[in-house]
Amino acid sequence: MRKKLSEVDSGKLFLSGNEAIARGAWEHGVHFASSYPGTPSTEIMETIGEEYPEIDAQWAPNEKVAMEVIAGASFGGARVLSSMKHVGLNVAADPFFTLSYIGATGGIVIVSADDPGMHSSQNEQDNRLLGRAAKVVILEPADSQEAKDFTGIALEISEMFDTPVMLRVTTRVCHSKSIVEVGPRTNVPVKGYKKDIAKRVPIPANARKMHSRVEARLRALEDWGCDSPLNRIEKGNKSLGIITSGISYQYVKEVHPEASVLKLGLTNPLPWKLIGDFINQVDRIIFVEEGEPYLEERIRSRFLIDAKGCELVSVEGELNPELVRKAIKNGEQIPLTFSDVELPGRPPALCAGCPHRGAFYTLSKMGASSTGDIGCYTLGLMPPYNALETVVCMGAAIGVLAGLEKATGRDEMPRLVSAIGESTFVHSGITGLIDMVYNGNTGTVMIMDNSLTAMTGGQENPTTGKNLRGNPAPVLDLEKMVLACGVKHVRVVDPHDLQEMKKALQEEFDREELSVIITRRPCIMAYKPLRKTVAVHDVEKCVHCRLCARLGCPAISWNKEMKIPVINEMLCWPNCNLCVQVCPKDALSKDLEGVV
């Protein structure tokens, strides 16, 4: 068996940015970590869970709870970490902002993993703006080595200046791998809890003093940052000076290694003196930053320099070497030998065997649809289902359905249900359901329980019976919880039983009271069937109706010449017989005996 990484205490490892942050937390004595999964941050906690048993690590029901729990652990003198995707920090913003006033007893690192380009997100907010608004320290690593090292420096700054530190990373830092020099764990004692009401209770009289301390610490850090190795000037040709941070730095070095560069690792507060020195050393300045013109606006308003930035490098999408080359080398491009070919898109799709397919197929067949939420089931919006019409944020499926009913009345409302996964429901759907009960809504909420936080790669949550490290945990009883909220009608249905699924939806559509349908069937990542079975097609019986292909199953493709389905044996999921159910002539069959 491969050694755990905690048994490797020197040498070099090939790590992703996320793995390096986990490593940095371990090496620098983090005691406790709590997070909610979210791309591109998820692997930080997964790595801690798998590789570093010295860190007490757990999944929280949502980011706000994670932030509160690490706050408490820091009050108790432990070094702590919480990682989340950019929009996760919105959920945690309330404790985040006030924790900035309270400060850190044990060092606090909050990892904000932003997703420029929206590879797996609903917006591309730049959380440097949020970190600045909260007046916390922001560090931006540019590769895995820095991701590890900056985690350690963040903990030191946190304890030295009594502040939470945001480690702001982006998708290409999180999910890129490079070679990292590693070291052993430094064991830092837990300081213990000391009662200090003036420090930790921000009633107005205390909070005013706290705010003064926050401003003083930012001023102190401005000077500290000028001498810190986090920020550095790389002298080059003085005709062009580039100010950059994070992954953008790597693109700059790639396409223009001769330019002078100010690489900022500490981006709040800014090291003004160092920046002023750099500006004086070069003839002109270009800002290269991914996301918002955060450095550009702050530095230009301070020094009133004529410089270029976001008009050359777009605020939309993520950067890459082509874009940076174009921006800093007057439109230069590598000539293409082969042009782009127009090809059919390959959007993501629900997996073969996915439990959600039965639910969305049925909704679609009934001419019904849903207000949606964040998870794999967001893919219910795709053809052939087209059965998910709104997404706002985690948990919003329920509130949005409630509001639609308030605007139009139930009778006027199209046949809509809330479609929300069990992990998302626990995250922040519960309060929406309480609102529906309290304010007299009558719609139907469909909790899609696949017993896994699936979209982020398959994490445990309070309903799965396991914790982060896979050990047994109490199971949150969704039915009882829904009843306790005051919903009178709750039923559980297997979404792959198409008849039952349809019946449940029809009955709840007809009901004039609020109801909850729990569609329960495990995600295909949650278990491994013991026996491999494949759907078999009988050409003789086939009437070429194409109903099976309209399931939108990746394992079924359509042979146009013969007008028959072709089953992909590698993809066909053993414990699924949706295609068998939709075939009107029994041309598809599957031996399900013994498949669990």
**Nearest approach, Cβ of 44 to another protein (angstroms)?**
12
Structure tokens, 147: 């991701």
Neighbours of 43 (CB within 10 A): 23
Dihedral class, residue 516 (left if φ above 0, else alpha if ψ from -120 to 50, else beta) = beta
Tell which residue, 386, 366, 398, 387, has the closest CA to residue 501: 366
Residue number with CB closer to another protein (109 or 319): 319
**Nearest approach, Cβ of 141 to another protein (angstroms)?**
13
**How many chain residues bind another protein (CB under 8 A)?**
65
Name which of residues 195 to 234 contact another protein (CB under 8 A): none
Question: Contact at 8 Å (CB) between 422 and 478?
Answer: yes
* Residue of 4, 119, 209, 563 interacting with another protein (CB under 8 A): 119
Residue number with CB closer to another protein (76 or 554): 554
User: Contact letters (x/-) for another protein, 161-200, by CB under 8 A?
Assistant: ----------xx--xxxxx---------------------
Q: What whole-number distance in Å separates Cα of residue 459 and Cα of residue 466?
A: 9
Name which of residues 128 to 147 contact another protein (CB under 8 A): 143
Residue number with CB closer to another protein (331 or 335): 335
Name which of residues 394 to 453 contact another protein (CB under 8 A): none
Residue 102, H or E segment: helix 93-102
Collect all residues with Cβ–Cβ distance below 8 Å to 421 and sequence separation of at least 6. 373, 375, 376, 377, 447, 448, 449, 450, 453, 454
Long-range contacts of the stretch 68-72 (C-beta < 8 A, 24+): 68/95, 69/34, 70/32, 70/33, 70/34, 70/108, 70/110, 71/95, 71/99, 71/102, 71/108
User: Contact letters (x/-) for another protein, 68-107, by CB under 8 A?
Assistant: ----------------------------------------
Phi, psi of 69, rounded to the nearest 5 degrees: -70, -40
Q: What whole-number distance in Å separates Cα of residue 149 and Cα of residue 151?
A: 5
Name which of residues 240 to 259 contact another protein (CB under 8 A): 247, 250-251, 253-255, 257
Q: 384 preceded by cis ω (within 30°)? A: yes
Residue number with CB closer to another protein (194 or 563): 563
**Nearest approach, Cβ of 42 to another protein (angstroms)?**
8
**Nearest approach, Cβ of 146 to another protein (angstroms)?**
13
Only one of the segments 126-134, 189-197, 213-221, 320-328 lies at the binding site for another protein (rule: CB under 8 A); that segment is 320-328
**Nearest approach, Cβ of 1 to another protein (angstroms)?**
10
Q: 40 preceded by cis ω (within 30°)? A: yes
Q: What whole-number distance in Å separates Cα of residue 91 and Cα of residue 306?
A: 38
Only one of the segments 53-61, 337-345, 479-487, 512-520 lies at the binding site for another protein (rule: CB under 8 A); that segment is 337-345
Q: What whole-number distance in Å separates Cα of residue 215 and Cα of residue 295?
A: 20
Structure tokens, 471: 């050990």
344 binds another protein (CB under 8 A): yes
Residue number with CB closer to another protein (304 or 334): 334
* Residue of 128, 199, 325, 357 interacting with another protein (CB under 8 A): 325
Question: Contact at 8 Å (CB) between 505 and 368?
Answer: yes
Residue number with CB closer to another protein (43 or 289): 43
Tell which residue, 185, 151, 178, has the closest CA to residue 83: 151
Question: Contact at 8 Å (CB) between 270 and 221?
Answer: no
Q: How far is CA 51 from the centre of its chain?
A: 21
* Residue of 53, 192, 317, 348 interacting with another protein (CB under 8 A): 348
**Nearest approach, Cβ of 495 to another protein (angstroms)?**
17
* Residue of 7, 340, 411, 593 interacting with another protein (CB under 8 A): 340
**Nearest approach, Cβ of 175 to another protein (angstroms)?**
6
* Residue of 6, 35, 39, 170 interacting with another protein (CB under 8 A): 39
43 binds another protein (CB under 8 A): yes
596 binds another protein (CB under 8 A): no
469 binds another protein (CB under 8 A): no
**DSSP string of 285-329, one letter each residue:** EEEE-SSS-HHHHHHHHHH---EE-TTTS-SSS---HHHHHHHHT
552 binds another protein (CB under 8 A): yes
Task: Let me know if 257 is exposed, middle or buried by CB neighbors in 10 A (0-12, 13-18, 19+).
Answer: exposed
* Residue of 11, 229, 345, 472 interacting with another protein (CB under 8 A): 345
Q: What whole-number distance in Å separates Cα of residue 486 and Cα of residue 437?
A: 6
**Nearest approach, Cβ of 222 to another protein (angstroms)?**
29
Q: How far is CA 495 from CA 361, 383, 404, 450, 575, in A?
A: 10, 19, 25, 10, 13
User: Contact letters (x/-) for another protein, 367-386, by CB under 8 A?
Assistant: ---------x-xx--xxx--
For the CA atoms of 236, 242, 246, 251, the dihedral, rounded to the nearest 10 degrees, stands at -70
40 binds another protein (CB under 8 A): yes
Residue number with CB closer to another protein (432 or 552): 552
Residue number with CB closer to another protein (239 or 386): 386
Residue number with CB closer to another protein (84 or 487): 84
320 binds another protein (CB under 8 A): yes
Angle between helices 430-438 and 396-408 (to 10 degrees): 30
Contacts with another protein by CB under 8 A lie at: 14, 39-40, 42-43, 119-120, 143, 171-172, 175-179, 247, 250-251, 253-255, 257, 320-322, 325, 333-341, 343-351, 376, 378-379, 382-384, 455-457, 546, 549-550, 552, 554, 556-558, 568-571
